[in-house]
Chains A and B, each alone.
Chain A
Amino acid sequence: MLALFENPRLRGGIHAEEHKTETSGVPIALDMPLPKKLYIPVQQHVGKPAEPLVKVGEKVLKGQLLAYSQGTISAPVHAPSSGLIADVLDFPAPHPSALPIRTIVIETDGLDQWTPIQKPDDPLALAAEEICALVGAAGVVGLGGAVFPSAVKLDLGRKNKIHTLLINAGECEPYLTCDDRLMQERASEIVTGIRLMLRGMGAPEATVGIEDNKPEAYLAMREACAEFTNINVVQVPTRYPMGWDRQMLRYLTGREIPADGRATDIGVVIHNVATAHAVYRAVCLNQPLITRVVTVSGSAVAKPQNVEVLIGTLISEVLDFCLVDKSRVARLIMGGPMMGDALPISEVPVVKACNGILALSEQDIEIPEVKPCIRCSTCITACPVGLLPLEMASRIRANQLDAAVDLGLKDCINCGSCSYVCPSNIPLVHYFKFASGELYKRQQMDHKSEQTKRLMDDRTQRMERIRLEQEAEARRVMEARAARAREQELAKQQAQQAQQSISEAGNKATAEEVQ
């Protein structure tokens, strides 16, 4: 009934302080000095890590393949600049844990010399498969933060019947403006990327959704798309998490992706706008994904701006370039303030997933003390998924994880809208992440105990079999021995009988002789 009063296309969401004007009017900085060393993790995507094929001491050129894609869902990584391979080691990852992952270290030679590149004459005439192959070889992944290999998505789109390519240019996280700037400055390249994607999937049309707080980007994209009638550019309301692909899809088409399915199930493929730009470079320029635009902002940043950064540059160097006062940094975040990860150290590399680096000071992140839940249900209103965060949290607090799963814990996207609006400042997302971790641990434990049980069962069976075999063997030996004994006995008896008959015969003879 209430569906009448609630816009069914736009559920939940929040409007946080945007903090976008600090960077949205400043051109993307292209003049960041070349770092002395670049640290390129072999896993910067969803799926299997890439396998290094370079050796320590080898000289590489800019754009040269460093590690190749492994398996169906994987992506290669390339050298962001020319130089020597200094090391292949485990290096802290840009992750809240900062645990080390396999990383290739390049000592740059300052020449920034490209590997020889062959540009296709007419990229838009390439066959769909060729476009996908080029995108895959360039290591393009979803640049909105999900880092799913784009070629896999394009292939999936070609195999299913796709009617719409949805380009997600929502950029709903506060502070971040990298997509905004990209659209303002490189709209025509993005549009070419979109056309290549359409061709690569055999899809008829594309829709670009841009939040209405980016009017310049919207106009630039409109202008760039003017001659292509199959690409629509539309404005969507500014309401976090509009950039959640499923939310934008629901808003633009009124349809929802099944909870157990993918966008392709309803004939849609969703790509990020920055991915479209990477596709343009991969196909038209034949350049692999070795740079990305990163928003550097936050109140501890003296020169907030977007920077085109080489993948593998240490975040600390990017901070220096943007004149960050490190003593004021209370929290360093990779990504946006809503879903980004707090980094414990700044000596970690920029990776393909890194759309923003926020250096927030104490006053930005001040979270008042936690109070008891007053059941105000603001979190329910804010949840874009339609969950009951307060009920889920109370179940988790009571360690009733199954009850929390029944309430939809696994549908939670960790967008943080509930935590953001909570007047009691309850860290709801923290609860949900904890519970998901516990569930994963439990699953692993179950798996482990299942394995152990299987091994135990196998062992018991094996032992039983051995026991039976041994018994049978023993029985056989015994029987054989018994048989032998019987035979011997028989032979003895026969011999005795024979003896007896002989002696009887002898006796007879003797008796006869006596007679």
Chain B
Amino acid sequence: MSIKPVSGPHVVAVRSVDSIMRKVIYALLPATAWGIFIFGWPALYLCAVTIFSAVLFEAVCLKLKGVAAAPYLRDGSAILTGLLVVMTLPPWAPWWIGVVGAAIAIILGKQVYGGLGQNVFNPAMLARVALLISFPIEMTTWVNVKPILLGPGIMESLSITFSGLSDLDGVTGATTLGAVKTGFSVHQTLPGLLHDYSAILAFIGWERGSLGETSTLLILLGGLWLIRDGIIKWQIPASLLLSIALLSSLFHLIDSQHYLGPWVHLNSGAVMLVAFFIATDYVTSPNTPVGQVIFGAGCGALIFIIRSWGGYPEGTGFAILLMNAVTPLIDHYIRPRIYGRYRNGKPIDVS
């Protein structure tokens, strides 16, 4: 009966980092499967390439760092990062986009800071923004919806992903946000610009867009499941979605010809994915409930600002990175009140 001196508690809860990561991956699977279903085999190949390279880069970095790689690879964080990167990519993007994206996310986004839990910026968003700036053509080529069985076959798809698409014009088009932005630049106005927009199809996800971002419904379900399981808290998604909804409603009411309504904002681009899976990233978001509300609202406001007045049709990546940069500041100023003290740290005065 040898006992080394240990401090309590002598029992622990069963939840572990591995199980958290696993659950987040499960929550993302329906939306990813949907993306593969509507965009075909190339989407599946891109997923495989990106996730595989993310794990590979993680292993190489850990090896260089001189730590045992296995326990860190087992925690699933590299798979999750790879999955999030590929979900934000155009579904028919060439294979090297996935590899470069995974490299940016894992090496520059995570490991240079010291690995799991140390990064300042969300790795997936860093990769997305870097790719968007570096490879604007590849990153804005949106393939039409064509379910897996009607689209190119298994072998043909291999050549799409691995040696590029020869004729793009026939099978691609603009996303809703892109089309609206282009329309505004040639002085078209709103109701007309959305003539072939279907509110319900956008909600289900039957539209052009990034691989895993189109289906509001499935992402929402995955996110709500995570909230129910206590993996993420409601503060960030709620405040983010609410701030976009409020701002877009306000401006849509003021000028409905030049500002999209809340439904279009919430159902297009990466808003849902960002609200439930990116902004809620533990490492890069504030610690306290109040801080999280500020963070979420800030993300929502920035997304709306960039979409409405910025140069890019979609602003989620930039919004997240900007708010990531503010997170340490929020955490410095927003702290919980300590028992028996006022917020400023002075003991409660009862006399």
Contact = CB atoms under 8 A, between A and B. Distances in A.
Interface of A: 1-2, 5-6, 11, 14, 16-17, 96-97, 174, 246, 250, 256-261, 265-266, 326-327, 329-333, 337-344, 346, 358, 360, 364-365, 367-369, 371-378, 380, 383-388, 390-391, 407-408, 411, 414, 416, 419-425, 427, 429-430, 433
A409 B263 CA distance: 47
Given A377-B288, A388-B287, A411-B341, A429 B17 contact: no
Given A17-B11, A338-B11, A423-B15, A411 B338 contact: yes
A326 B2 CA distance: 11
Contacts of A340: 8, 10
A258 B348 contact: yes
12 contacts: A2-B235, A14-B13, A257-B348, A266-B350, A337-B8, A341-B8, A365-B11, A372-B115, A375-B117, A375-B287, A377-B287, A380-B288
A408 B345 CA distance: 9
A346 B1 CA distance: 9
A376 B286 CA distance: 9
B9 A419 contact: yes
Interface residues of A, dominant DSSP: loop
B10 A331 contact: yes
Contact of A374 (B8, B9, B17, B349): B17
Given A372-B115, A408-B338, A427-B7, 16 more contacts: A1-B290, A11-B339, A17-B11, A259-B339, A327-B1, A337-B10, A337-B11, A339-B8, A344-B3, A368-B16, A371-B116, A374-B17, A377-B282, A387-B336, A419-B12, A421-B13
Given A343-B3, A364-B11, A388-B335, A423 B117 contact: no
Contacts of A344: 3, 5
Interface in B243-278: none
Contacts, number: 173
A203 to B, nearest CB: 18
Interface residues on B, range: 35 or more
Interface in B101-120: 115-118
Nearest to A420: B9
B152 to A, nearest CB: 40
A259 B287 contact: no
Interface in B175-227: none
B283 interface: yes
Interface in B91-134: 115-118
B347 interface: yes
A424 B17 contact: yes
Contacts of B16: 368, 371, 423-425
Nearest to B2: A344
B340 interface: yes
B75 interface: yes
Interface in B1-55: 1, 3, 5-13, 15-17, 19-20
A429 B336 contact: no
